[in-house]
């Protein structure tokens, strides 16, 4: 393996679980989260030599992940990847608590852009400016989307919508 591949493999090993968790918070599905994460790391790998400062890898990767998530809703069903018959074996994810299940169900109903802001601001603990940079918008947009997203989330947790 080249030095480039070794450096990328080390970065992937160190950050893939955290990025997958972020993707799960965005989409609410572990399989889609895996696809989003793989897509983001593939795009990073293709641009690996162009990344001048390796301290900017996490923000870049988050931006790619979030853009992929938001854009996925615009693709339509015919452009999504199809699963194969072979399963990937890995350790089972821990069973979520009832509060976490309630929160995840409510978060899944928040509009994608607001959900992305909530995940970046309150789960990843990014600043308003870092969130704005990740989403390619202004700090004011982050603040308004966070306020709307929190209000939507509060409403959904207090008055959950049940599926028929």
What's the pLDDT tens digit per position in 113-136? 999 999 999 988 999 999 999 899
Instruction: Write down the pLDDT at residue 77.
Output: 46
| Residue 28 Ramachandran class (φ > 0 left, ψ -120 to 50 alpha, else beta) | left
Q: Which residues of 36-55 are buried (b: 16+ CB within 10 A; e: fewer)?
A: bbbbbbebbeeeeeeeeeee
Does 140 have pLDDT greater than 90? Answer: yes
Confidence band, pLDDT 50/70/90 cuts, at residue 162: low
Cβ neighbours, 10 Å, residue 152: 18
Q: Write out pLDDT tens, residues 2-54.
A: 888 888 999 999 999 999 999 999 988 899 999 999 999 999 998 888 876 76
Instruction: Write down the pLDDT at residue 91.
Output: 57
Distances (CA, A) of 159 to 4, 82, 148: 51, 35, 16
Q: Write out pLDDT tens, residues 60-112.
A: 899 999 988 888 766 554 455 555 555 555 555 555 577 778 888 888 899 99
66 burial class (0-12, 13-18, 19+ CB within 10 angstroms)? buried
Instruction: Write down the pLDDT at residue 1.
Output: 77
């Amino acid at each position: 393996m080249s030095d480039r591949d070794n450096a990328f493999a080390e970065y992937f090993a160190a950050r893939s679980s955290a990025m997958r968790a972020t993707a799960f918070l965005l989409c609410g599905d572990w399989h889609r989260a895996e696809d989003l994460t793989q897509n983001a790391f593939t795009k990073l790998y293709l641009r690996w030599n162009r990344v001048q400062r390796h301290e900017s890898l996490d923000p870049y990767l988050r931006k790619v992940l979030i853009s992929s998530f938001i854009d996925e809703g615009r693709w339509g069903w015919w452009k999504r990847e199809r699963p194969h018959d072979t399963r990937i074996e890995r350790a089972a994810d821990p069973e979520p608590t009832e509060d976490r299940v309630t929160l995840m169900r409510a978060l899944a109903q928040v509009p994608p852009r607001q959900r992305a802001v909530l995940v970046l601001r309150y789960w990843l603990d990014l600043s308003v400016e870092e969130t704005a940079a990740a989403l390619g918008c202004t700090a004011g947009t982050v603040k308004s989307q966070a306020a709307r997203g929190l209000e939507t989330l509060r409403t959904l947790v207090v008055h959950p919508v049940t599926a028929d």
